[in-house]
Structure 1
Amino acid sequence: MDLRSVYEKDKELKDKFIAAIESKWQLDDSIIAKSDRCELGAWLSGEAERKYKFLKSYKPCIEAHDAFHVQASKVARQINLGEYESAKAMIADGTPFYKSLAQLGVALIALKKDAKL
């Protein structure tokens, strides 16, 4: 698994949010909230769980990924409510969304190192 590329795909949610705000698109916030629906989440809850669940870095990675999807679903809900300025503010640097994405990156680096990926 190329953890960098799947992390980049989760990071692309920010770009999707910006596009949705600009185009006033609706998003499926219930799907965005499910951390096992993206490629990284499917891997973490499948192959990675089978191979790496006993590594010290595995559980923090799961928790960081779940937290990221919680924050992402909050942004999607604001967009769906038409609260575009609020949604923009929610994805800015220093916000819970931004911090959860950064924490996910740190957790993935630790898992990559421990699992020798």
Structure 2
Amino acid sequence: MNLEESLAKEAEIKQRLLAAIDNGHQLDPKAAGKVDGCMLGNWLHGEGEQKFRFVKSFGPCVAAHDALHAEVEKVVRQINLGEYDQAKAMIANGGSCTRAFVGMVAAVRQLKAELKL
């Protein structure tokens, strides 16, 4: 698993959210919140869990990733309600979704360092 590549894919979420806001598109909140629906989540809840669940930094990494998807789901719900300013605030620097993303990146990099990947 290339964890840096998976982080890059996770970072693309913000651009998709902004595009949905700009274009007034509805998104599926359940899909956005699905923790195993992305490359990283699929690995964390599959092969990664099988191989590394007892590694000290694995649990916090999973928790941080799951927290990010919970925040993304909240943003999507705001977008679908037409609450674009609220959604933008959540994904802006310092917003709840961005804080969750930063926490997830730190957790993934900690796991990567511990696994020496």
Q: TM-score range by the shorter chain?
A: over 0.9
After superposition, where does 1:80-99 map in structure 2 within 5 Å? 80-99=80-99
User: 1:17 corresponds to which residue?
Assistant: 17
Cα separation, 2, equivalents of 1:81 and 1:36: 25
Give the length in aligned residue pairs: 117
Counterpart CA distance in 2 for 1:22 and 1:96 is 20
Q: Could you list the runs of 4 or more consecutive aligned residues of structure 1 that deviate by over 6 angstroms after TM superposition?
A: none
Letter in 2 for 1:62: V
1:76 maps to which residue? 76
Query: Which amino acid is the alignment partner of residue 47 of structure 2?
Result: E
TM-score normalised by length of structure 1: 0.97
Alignment partner, residue 41 of structure 1: 41
Superposition deviation, residue 101 in structure 1? 0.3
CA RMSD of aligned residues (A): 0.7
TM-score, normalised to structure 2's length? 0.97
Query: 1:6 maps to what in 2?
Result: 6
Identity of aligned residues (%): 46
Q: Mind listing any 5+ residue stretches in structure 1 that lack a counterpart?
A: none
SS of 1:8's equivalent? helix
Unaligned runs of 5+ in 2: none
Relative contact order, higher structure (CA 8 A, sep 6+): 1
